[in-house]
A and B are shown apart, each in its own frame.
Chain A
Amino acid sequence: MPQPHPASQPALHLAVALDGAGWHPAAWREPGARPKDLFTAAYWAGLVAEAESGLLDFVTIEDSLGLQSSSPTEPDRRTGQVRGRLDAVQIAARIAPLTHRIGLVPTAVVTHTEPFHLSKAIATLDYVSGGRAGLRVQVSVRPHEAELFGRRTFPPLRLDDLGTPGARAVIADSFDEAADYVEVVRRLWDSWEDDAEIRDVATGRFIDRAKLHYIDFEGRHFRVKGPSITPRPPQGQPVVVALAHRTEPFRLVGRSADVGFVTPHDADEAGRIVAEIRAHQAEAGRAEETVHVFADLVVLLDDTDATAAARLSRLDERAGAAFTSDARVFAGTPDGLADLLAGWREAGISGFRLRPAAIPHDLEQITRRLVPELQRRGVFRTAYEAGTLRGLLGLPRPANRYAAVVSSPAETTAAV
């Protein structure tokens, strides 16, 4: 195997995706699983502490408006899998005071929610975590999820129809709306300049109102006035993330996100996806900005390939079906996974979001086996090098778009 040269390559980034008892539908029945604790704070605190002990960049926390389902498009009435979840932003907030360095990236659905509320929620997560907040935006075009809100309707959606013009139009429209949503969230984060709060006893002014800005967003789907009720968060702009499988979400990553999660099945596909995202990024005028592309992998890790394969078989047998995923499923050894990661990095992937098939086993394999192996190879940190999530990801603290307007009137149009 070619060993990467630590000096020639930036450090690899590693995140773990937390969801219930793990990503395999039978994971909750494994010996170490704690399915009765899924709705307690202690459960989540334990998982994030484990991830932090492995020096991971961040954890993501899955969420959805509707109840989990074995079908991507419809509800089911199954009783043999984990059902029910807690609001991911609140899980992240509940864990924030108990952790110190690891980034916290909850999932939030942007289709039915208010950008004003979500913007201040993530800004506040950034405050309670001391600059470790991120936001994974998720689109929902599922008709049954729309019915939970009763405000709009979506046409029935079948996986087979995703390529039809009608479905493409709905999807494209939803991702355009998501891009507008992220734009509003980001403008609201900037709507207070960092030094807006002056507490000037002499003049009696708590704030310098010239440093608060209306965002005056008007798009096809909504308008939002601003400013936020919450001052600019510690990171300035918390990290925005999206999972992307096809052109519309690739474009969302290119125009709006700091990190894209993608699901290639080999290094070649990884390379093609990175190229497509870079093209969207350039088209959006962001060629100079860092946009990380993370590959998602479902992982089952054991001492030998055979043990991992046998465990997957056992899980599949319990679930009554072979496990399928949008992401590649890796069942093997931590060393083998480290080799795979190295190969995909060559294709332009800068980090990985690992989805542990079973918790705690595969989470602990990541933190206690994979991470030491990556450290041995000189491609992963041996101590947290920054205090904020942006810092861990090598993203600078961005200038405030509205502060730029004040100093350079000529840029007004571009910045607003």
Chain B
Amino acid sequence: MSKPLKQIHLAAHFPGVNNTTVWSDPAAGSQIEFSSFAHVARTAERAKFDFIFLAEGLRLREQGGEIYDLDVVGRPDTFTVLAALAAVTDRLGLAGTINSTFNEPYEVARQFASLDHLSGGRAAWNVVTSWDAFTGENFRRGGFLAQEDRYERARQFLDAARVLFASWRGDEIAADKESGVFLTDADAGRFAHRVAQFDIRGRFNVPRSPQGRPVIFQAGDSEEGREFAASSADAIFTRHGTLEAGRAFYADVKGRLAKYGRAADELKILPGVTYVLGGTDAEAQEKARAIRRMQVSGQTAVKFLEQLWNRDLSDHDPDGPLPAVDPLVGENLVAKGRASVRMFRDPLATAAEWRALAEAKKLTTRELIIEVTGRQTFIGSPETVAHALNEFVQTDASDGFILVPHLTPSGLDDFADTVVPLLQERGVFRTEYEGSTLREHLGLSPVDPARETAAVTASSTATVPTADTVTRTGRARA
């Protein structure tokens, strides 16, 4: 092969608040206690992973007007856990999902800049948006946004945060005891930024952090999401778990970078994937089937059905056929606080597909749900999985993976112990950390404040004619 081997990037997703995480297993531990987070983080660092990743949910999910009780429920605060994890790890990147709908740029920028300082340059921000008034009920400003405004707010939010991150160049703190000069610039941190969503000004009070700003992640597959990522993100968290879909997505998104003046390797594409390992491929397949049955109990299958059918199906027999009635079309009134509900754009068509599949394969409701929801991405012996992961990356279906274990906190252990050494043997995964910051782990070049500010100014003025962005760098140029 003339092309040099790509290096794989690996991350650990802390097991989530959904049915992928199997809590009924006797080995399942707490999703809240710090020891669980520390175990996953230390395992990831022992295996030289790029980062650990935390998801977010700002309201407990409900179904049929009641709090959903079949999955793991409850999670800690993202920033607080990541800051604590910085104390028990040295190199591992710390990635948090933080919402742009129910926060303000000044506060989030302070928090990420603080995390970056306290971790010595290991912070990453997965920027997500919310759409629902349901979650907004937990927040003082309600926070309801029309679906079409979500990305606009997210983009403007990120721009505003970039202005804040870039408001310190990095050379302002002299702290010279002899001369008595602490700051070399009486206006350090000064900013003013006015766009449709935000009108903020003053002085940012966190000096420039080791990475300049956190690594920016974007999650989401929509057209707006792809464009947002191509223009603004360092990495994308995708859900494309098959080679074909992965390659198509990869080519599409990487192809959008040029128009923003960015090179193909400035945006890393990292699908979230699950895996099941066994001594042999057959053993792994057997284990995978058992895990699927634990992930989708009869009750869980009926709840999934309700999400598509948009009706109360509590009397439905999960071991029988799909319901005879059709889904209710319209606003989903049954399931609240779930991203998956939005996936069902045409419930009648999806129901028809499911019925056809159930008929063809002679599946009960539960078997059908097991079939159509979140099957494991990589199943096999460590050799098989290492080969498949490498093929995925070398053939440009991704730049690496965010691994989603099904067990808290031990779910990553076998992967770290058996698959990682095989990837290292193949020369496609680091055996030691080469840098100290997450940007370095990801092979991203250092953040250039002037370029950051220029990008914000261009993106703000492009869509908001009244935009008025003045930053230190901007003023210096003017």
Contacts and interface: CB of A to CB of B under 8 A. Distances in A.
A216 to B, nearest CB: 10
Contacts of B104: 112, 149, 151
Contacts of B206: 39, 84-87
Interface in A68-127: 68, 75, 77-87, 89-91, 93-98, 112-117, 120-121, 123-125, 127
Contacts of A227: 60, 67
Nearest to A180: B140
A272 interface: no
A26 to B, nearest CB: 8
A225 B114 contact: no
Interface string B81-114: 1011011100000000000001110110011011
Interface stretch (B186-194, B356-364, B365-373, B431-439): B186-194
B186 A77 contact: yes
A139 to B, nearest CB: 15
Most buried by B among A93, A97, A147: A93
B445 interface: no
B79 A121 contact: yes
User: Interface residues of A toward B: which range?
Assistant: 35 or more
A368 interface: no
A82 B117 contact: no
B297 A39 contact: no
B125 interface: no
Contacts of A224: 137-140
B438 to A, nearest CB: 16
A217 B193 CA distance: 34
B80 A128 contact: yes
A169 interface: no
B139 A318 contact: no
Interface in A179-226: 192, 197, 199, 201, 204-209, 212, 221-226
A87 B110 contact: yes
A29 interface: yes
B177 A230 contact: no
Interface in B1-46: 23-24, 28, 32-34, 38
A367 interface: no
A227 B77 CA distance: 14
Interface string B290-326: 0000000101100000000000000000000000000
Contacts of A204: 24, 70, 297, 299-300
B205 A85 contact: yes
Interface stretch (A59-67, A307-315, A335-343, A354-362): A59-67
B138 A226 contact: yes
B205 A94 contact: no
Interface string A28-52: 1110010110111100010000000
Given A98-B87, A116-B58, A90 B102 contact: no
B40 to A, nearest CB: 14
Contacts, number: 227
Contacts of A94: 83-84, 86-87, 118
Nearest to B177: A29
A306 interface: no
A406 interface: no
A87 B111 contact: yes
A90 B76 CA distance: 14
B255 interface: no
A231 interface: yes
B375 interface: no
Given A85-B206, A117-B77, A229-B75, A90 B114 contact: yes
A114 B102 contact: yes
Interface residues of B, number: 75
B202 A120 contact: no
Contacts of A163: none
Contacts of A89: 79-80, 83
A416 interface: no
Given A117-B103, A199-B23, A201-B24, A206 B71 contact: yes
Nearest to B188: A83
A126 B166 CA distance: 33
Interface in B172-222: 173, 175, 177, 180-189, 198-207
Contacts of B57: 229
Given A39-B207, A86-B118, A75 B76 contact: no
A197 B73 contact: yes
Given A120-B76, A124-B76, A206-B72, A148 B84 contact: no
B443 to A, nearest CB: 25
A97 B181 contact: no
B182 A222 contact: no
A127 B205 contact: no
A2 interface: no
A7 to B, nearest CB: 39
B407 interface: no
A150 interface: yes
A144 interface: yes
Contact of A28 (B139, B175, B204): B175
18 contacts: A41-B117, A41-B118, A65-B110, A68-B205, A79-B185, A86-B118, A86-B206, A89-B79, A90-B80, A91-B114, A94-B86, A94-B87, A116-B58, A120-B77, A121-B77, A204-B300, A206-B71, A212-B60
Given A91-B83, A224-B140, 18 more contacts: A36-B175, A39-B207, A40-B118, A80-B181, A82-B182, A84-B188, A93-B84, A114-B139, A116-B102, A128-B34, A148-B200, A148-B202, A197-B73, A205-B69, A222-B140, A225-B138, A229-B75, A318-B180
6 nearest CB pairs, A to B: A222-B140, A35-B175, A87-B114, A93-B83, A225-B137, A124-B80
Interface of B: 23-24, 28, 32-34, 38, 57-60, 66-67, 69-77, 79-81, 83-84, 86-88, 102-104, 106-107, 110-111, 113-115, 117-120, 137-141, 173, 175, 177, 180-189, 198-207, 297, 299-300
